[in-house]
């Protein structure tokens, strides 16, 4: 096409790489001067195969589409769905499709991808055996799984773990069988594999490594019943998914005489041309010039760009000589990433490793003898991937150990932000977009938002792992250019959460509608808001209710419509549609009489009972219509809501302290009770957890909490900003050797300052890392009163403490409020038949396909009394 327009270009295959190739052709104007014909085997246009498993999380197949609905028509591309190519005649330059359609080509591009490898296991063709590759595969698995209870995935690689997550999501008891000695053997090392396996098994998935499938055992109906493994063991299973790797789909090339590799793959040169100059091959079907077949999307996209540039006659064709195989994925909810020389094969390299088996976190960096970062593996916490991968091949600006330590103990704030990266650092691996290209999109191409930069550069439109770094770079570049960056909470408000807090407080607003109409974006005024801002504003109004004169009850009037799912019924919704009941037990201290009441309630309502690690007793399995009757008995016994459902204080954990423990130096139980009763019901941007340890042995794990207290011989040390969740962070010491009064005063100030300035759904750990000045600034504000706010912060907390009312007690006292607690509005006395249970260890568990055992009848109350003012249910 360098000199004359190519009359007809045929593309065989319309997957992710095929679509990227078409976009590259369109960008170069080729579609406007040539006939482009696409033969697609699947019945739907190209979709995001990387996000395939999200179908089981509620995304419709159409939501995965990669192109706009009018892309083909807009560029005059002829797309033939469900009509794959069956033969290529290179002498006549024709392609024949299954329908009989024959197209003469001037240029042919093969993007046929790969096919799933099914090991030669006897019985692999039995009913109930599937592969995991297309939307149609998923639809078939979903339908078949309706009558299954157990499922097995053969293969523990990327797709294997995704398939296991899909089966688990469908409610099947799931196991993984992997021939290699660890999961994801290609991407992670032994340590990463061990961490990943431990986390996967904690999810209830059985893992068998170092074994393969020997035979699929079918029943008389030809359907799968079991699998015999190579170690002689046998596992019962109703469904099998083979995800043991892929092979290049090169049959068309073989049949027409094109060269293929010894282990498969269509041989191409650096411009993705085959031995026939009229034929190109890209993506997983191609054997690149470096002798590798790449099974990742990013290299396929690079090949698509190279081929499109060569066909268009672009004089600046980028030769494809190899690709970065770094990858970051979330598998079964676990972040897994690898980059560079992840296995440490370089001579003289050293490993820097951080491992926390309790949290399932494993991080390894491979460092060269000269300090150069060569690669790494991240499991359980891959937050730093977006910055570490671009640093590969350089000597990082901080010591390697600082790069793997948890937040709060590693590199100084800002030392490794995207601003520290050179302009040639690749930020978006999927589309090979550098930091310099992103900056140029803002400074030279007038992009002013992240979506505009995405459209201009394609950065962030692949796997999405670079979006956080991309956003930071765009905002930094806009700020450097004197542009005020929109920090609005969402599309409804131009203000941050902290700014909305101040507006509500100073204007004494008591409703979301007032706030939206008076301070929302013009186009949003008079509307209903969005799911981002409504819960955030509800939390602000609830936390300021005593100050602004609002009713603090969260289910009255407009407030009810703003709440998150759990707050609607003052209980946590569980996976089978039932709810949990969590009464507050301050300090974990409880009288025998109250303990008996909990036992009687659990017995009478047939609830699953569990003592938690946070000094509470959780009761699971309550139907929504049973909640008022359960809480009536608990409130009568002196219990109140534990706020397990709210973005509020959960618990203040404690050890037994000096009262019982020979090591204790302070009364930690008393202090824990005082703190929990003081801050109960405090609505905040995110949940709050606390703990009090009676000595430095730290049995209450106070440094893993949002605010933690550790006793000293001289008083109390206060730690803030800890988190034991998905990204563990040790709390930092705010002040030490405090008296009781000093401790409470500082916690009051700290909590109200956090509530006032934190972003929506921002934990104290993330807030402390983000807020300008970090811990030093927070200390200046709450300890030294540098902003003159402390009197106001203390006043806000005092208002909360004096105005506190138990939400369940208020609910029980109001028949109108009780009216919402029904399974069906049109049949208020009917229980939900979908909420069913089966027995397990003398208790109950949800009756889902994952679980086995005889079905129990839905429990009905036989001993509790009706509530005053209501009819017995």
HEC string for 780-791: HHHCCCCCCCHH
Average the pLDDT over 650-673 and give the result.
Answer: 89
What are 248's strand-pairing partners? 114
430 lies in some domain: no
Listed residue (178, 181, 138, 141) closest to 157, CA to CA = 178
Residue with more model confidence, 380 or 180 = 180
We report the CATH number of the domain holding residue 607 as 3.90.480
Q: Please give the pLDDT value at position 52.
A: 82
422 lies in some domain: no
Q: Please give the pLDDT value at position 866.
A: 33
Average the pLDDT over 495-513 and give the result.
Answer: 89
Q: For residue 24, what pLDDT band results from cuts at 50, 70 and 90?
A: very high
Strand 77-80, strand 35-39: pairing: parallel
Average the pLDDT over 555-563 and give the result.
Answer: 62
- pLDDT surpassing 90 at residue 153: yes
Average the pLDDT over 289-316 and give the result.
Answer: 89
Strand 107-110, strand 213-218: pairing: unpaired
3-state secondary structure of 634: helix
Q: Please give the pLDDT value at position 154.
A: 95
Tell me how many degrees the CA angle 386-341-413 measures, rounded to the nearest 5. 35
Listed residue (662, 400, 681, 708) closest to 552, CA to CA = 681
Average the pLDDT over 149-173 and give the result.
Answer: 89
* pLDDT tens string 830-856: 676 767 788 887 788 887 654 444 444
Residue with more model confidence, 711 or 330 = 711
Kindly tell me the number of DSSP H helices and DSSP E strands found in the chain.
25, 38
d(CA 432, CA 422): 15
- pLDDT surpassing 70 at residue 66: yes
Residues 641 and 811: beta-carbon distance below 8 Å: no
Average the pLDDT over 186-201 and give the result.
Answer: 87
In which residue are the tokens 């190209």 written?
46
d(CA 188, CA 161): 14
- pLDDT surpassing 80 at residue 415: no
d(CA 604, CA 630): 9
472 lies in some domain: no
- Cα dist from 173 to 92, 210, 238, whole Å: 54, 21, 10
Q: Please give the pLDDT value at position 389.
A: 83
Average the pLDDT over 638-651 and give the result.
Answer: 90
Residue 235 shares a structural domain with residue 379? no
Residue with more model confidence, 841 or 338 = 338
Q: 805, 821, 855 — which closes off a domain?
A: 805
Mean pLDDT is lowest, of 75-84, 164-173, 365-374, 746-755, for 164-173
Q: Please give the pLDDT value at position 830.
A: 65
d(CA 838, CA 858): 10
529 lies in some domain: yes
3-state secondary structure of 698: coil
* DSSP, residue by residue, 259-327: -B-TTS-EE--TTSB-SSTTEEE-GGGEE-TTS----SHHHHHHHHHHHHHHHHT-TT----------E
Q: Tell me which H or E stretch contains 656.
A: none
Residue 842 shares a structural domain with residue 821? yes
In the numeric block, which tokens belong to residue 430?
């999927």
Residues 288 and 306: beta-carbon distance below 8 Å: no
Residue 770 shares a structural domain with residue 684? yes
d(CA 673, CA 693): 13
426 lies in some domain: no
3-state secondary structure of 59: coil
Q: 312, 347, 364 — which closes off a domain?
A: 312
We report the CATH number of the domain holding residue 345 as 3.30.390.30
- pLDDT surpassing 60 at residue 871: no
Q: Please give the pLDDT value at position 649.
A: 93
Q: For residue 571, what pLDDT band results from cuts at 50, 70 and 90?
A: confident
Average the pLDDT over 514-540 and give the result.
Answer: 85
In which residue are the tokens 């807030």 written?
767
Determine the straight-line distance between the first and last CA of the chain, rounded to whole angstroms: 78
3-state secondary structure of 573: strand
- pLDDT surpassing 80 at residue 712: yes
Residue 785 shares a structural domain with residue 667? yes
443 lies in some domain: no
Q: For residue 411, what pLDDT band results from cuts at 50, 70 and 90?
A: very low
Residue with more model confidence, 851 or 56 = 56
In which residue are the tokens 């697609």 written?
40
Residue with more model confidence, 667 or 830 = 667
Residue 659 shares a structural domain with residue 796? yes
Q: For residue 627, what pLDDT band results from cuts at 50, 70 and 90?
A: very high
227 lies in some domain: yes
Listed residue (183, 24, 11) closest to 84, CA to CA = 11
Residue 179 shares a structural domain with residue 230? yes
Residue 235 shares a structural domain with residue 253? no
Mean pLDDT is lowest, of 111-115, 469-473, 750-754, for 469-473
Average the pLDDT over 352-375 and give the result.
Answer: 87
Residue 696 shares a structural domain with residue 834? no
Of the chain, the percentage scoring pLDDT greater than 70 comes to 89
Residue 790 shares a structural domain with residue 850? no
Residue 719 shares a structural domain with residue 842? no
Mean pLDDT is lowest, of 209-218, 236-245, 484-493, 855-864, for 855-864
Instruction: At 190, give phi and psi (nearest 5°).
Output: -60, -40
Q: Please give the pLDDT value at position 852.
A: 42
Average the pLDDT over 24-44 and give the result.
Answer: 93
Residue with more model confidence, 3 or 213 = 213
Of the chain, the percentage scoring pLDDT greater than 90 comes to 45
Average the pLDDT over 580-600 and give the result.
Answer: 87
* pLDDT tens string 526-537: 877 777 788 888
Q: 200, 219, 244 — which closes off a domain?
A: 244
Tell me the residue length of the chain.
Answer: 873
Residue 682 shares a structural domain with residue 795? yes
Domain with 540 in it:
497-563
Strand 707-712, strand 688-693: pairing: parallel
846 lies in some domain: yes
Tell me how many degrees the CA angle 122-125-131 measures, rounded to the nearest 5. 110
Mean pLDDT is lowest, of 143-152, 411-420, 710-719, for 411-420
We report the CATH number of the domain holding residue 14 as 3.50.50.60
Residue 671 shares a structural domain with residue 782? yes
Q: What is the largest CA-CA distance in the chain?
A: 93
Domains: count for the chain = 6
Average the pLDDT over 391-406 and give the result.
Answer: 82
- pLDDT surpassing 50 at residue 570: yes
* DSSP, residue by residue, 65-107: B-S-TTHHHHTTEEEETT--EEEEETTTTEEEETTS-EEE-SE
């Amino acid at each position: 096409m360098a000199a004359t327009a190519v009359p007809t270009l045929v593309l065989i295959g319309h997957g992710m790489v095929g679509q990227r190739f078409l976009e590259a052709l369109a960008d170069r104007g080729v579609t406007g001067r040539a006939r482009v014909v696409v033969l697609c085997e699947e019945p739907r246009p190209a979709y995001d195969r990387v996000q395939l498993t999200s179908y089981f999380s509620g995304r419709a197949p159409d939501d995965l589409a990669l192109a706009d609905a009018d892309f083909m028509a807009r560029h005059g591309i002829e797309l033939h769905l469900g009509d794959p190519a069956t033969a290529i005649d290179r002498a006549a330059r024709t392609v024949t499709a299954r329908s009989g359609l024959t197209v003469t080509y001037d240029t042919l591009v093969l993007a046929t991808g790969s096919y799933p490898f099914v090991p030669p296991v006897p019985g692999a063709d039995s009913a109930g055996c599937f592969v995991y590759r297309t939307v149609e595969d998923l639809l078939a698995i979903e339908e078949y799984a309706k009558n299954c209870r157990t499922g097995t995935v053969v293969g523990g690689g990327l797709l294997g773990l995704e398939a296991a997550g899909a089966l688990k999501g469908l409610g099947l008891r799931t196991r993984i069988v992997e021939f290699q000695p660890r999961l994801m053997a290609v991407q992670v090392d032994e340590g990463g594999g061990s961490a990943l396996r431990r986390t996967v098994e904690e999810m209830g998935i059985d893992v068998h490594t170092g074994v393969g499938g020997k035979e699929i055992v079918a029943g008389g109906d030809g359907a799968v019943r079991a699998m015999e493994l190579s170690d002689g063991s046998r596992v019962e299973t109703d469904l099998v998914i083979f995800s043991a790797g892929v092979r290049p789909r090169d049959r068309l090339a073989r049949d027409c005489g094109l060269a293929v590799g010894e282990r498969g793959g269509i041989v191409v040169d650096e411009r993705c041309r085959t031995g026939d100059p009229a034929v190109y091959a890209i993506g997983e079907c191609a054997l690149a010039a470096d002798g590798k077949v790449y099974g990742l999307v990013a290299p396929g996209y690079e090949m698509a760009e190279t081929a499109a540039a060569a066909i268009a006659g672009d004089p600046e064709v980028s030769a494809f000589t190899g690709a970065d195989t770094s990858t970051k994925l979330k598998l079964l909810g676990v972040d897994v990433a690898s980059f560079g020389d992840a296995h440490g094969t370089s001579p003289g390299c050293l490993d820097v490793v951080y491992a926390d088996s309790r949290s399932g976190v494993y991080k390894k960096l491979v460092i060269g003898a000269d300090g150069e970062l060569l690669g790494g593996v991240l499991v359980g916490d891959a937050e730093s991937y977006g910055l570490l991968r671009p640093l590969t091949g350089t000597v990082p600006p901080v010591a390697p150990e600082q790069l793997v330590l948890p937040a709060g103990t590693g590199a100084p704030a800002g030392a490794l932000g995207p601003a520290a990266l050179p302009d040639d650092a690749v930020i978006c691996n999927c589309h090979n977009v550098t930091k310099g290209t992103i900056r140029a999109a803002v400074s030279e191409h007038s992009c002013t938002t992240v979506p505009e930069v995405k459209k201009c550069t394609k950065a962030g439109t692949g796997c999405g792992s670079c979006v956080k770094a991309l956003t930071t770079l765009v905002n930094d570049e806009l700020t450097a250019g004197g542009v005020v960056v929109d920090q609005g909470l969402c599309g409804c408000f131009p203000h941050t959460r902290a700014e909305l807090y101040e507006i509500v407080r100073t204007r004494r607003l008591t409703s979301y509608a007032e706030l939206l109409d008076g301070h929302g974006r013009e186009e949003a005024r008079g509307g209903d808001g969005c799911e981002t801002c409504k819960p955030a504003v509800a939390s602000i109004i609830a936390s300021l209710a005593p100050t602004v004169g609002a009713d603090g009850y969260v289910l009255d009037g407009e407030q009810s419509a703003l709440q998150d799912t759990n707050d609607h019924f003052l209980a946590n919704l569980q996976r089978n549609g039932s709810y949990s009941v969590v009464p507050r037990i301050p300090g974990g201290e409880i009288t025998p009489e109250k303990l008996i009441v909990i036992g009687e309630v659990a017995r009478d309502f047939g609830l699953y009972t569990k003592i938690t690690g946070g000094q509470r007793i959780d009761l699971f399995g309550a139907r929504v219509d049973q909640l008022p009757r359960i809480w009536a008995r608990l409130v009568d016994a002196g219990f109140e809501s534990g706020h397990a459902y709210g973005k509020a204080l959960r618990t203040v954990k404690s050890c037994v302290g000096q009262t019982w423990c020979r090591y204790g130096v302070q009364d930690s139980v008393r202090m824990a009770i005082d703190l929990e009763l003081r801050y109960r019901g405090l609505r905040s941007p995110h949940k709050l957890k606390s703990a009090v340890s009676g000595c430095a042995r730290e049995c209450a794990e106070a440094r893993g909490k949002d605010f933690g207290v550790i006793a000293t011989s001289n008083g109390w040390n206060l730690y803030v900003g800890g988190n034991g969740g998905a990204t563990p962070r040790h709390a930092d010491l705010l002040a030490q050797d405090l008296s009781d009064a000093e401790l409470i005063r500082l916690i009051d100030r700290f909590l109200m300052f956090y509530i006032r300035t934190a972003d929506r759904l921002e934990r104290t750990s993330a807030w402390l890392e983000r807020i300008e000045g970090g811990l030093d600034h927070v200390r200046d504000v709450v300890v030294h009163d540098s902003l003159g706010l402390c009197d106001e912060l203390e006043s806000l907390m005092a208002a909360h403490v004096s105005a506190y009312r138990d939400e369940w007690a208020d609910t029980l006292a109001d028949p109108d409020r009780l009216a919402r607690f029904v399974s069906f509005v049109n049949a208020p006395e009917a229980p939900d038949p979908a909420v069913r249970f089966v027995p397990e260890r003398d208790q109950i568990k949800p009756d889902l396909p994952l679980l086995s055992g005889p079905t129990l009848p839905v429990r009905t109350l036989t001993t509790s009394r009706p509530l005053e003012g209501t009819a017995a249910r």
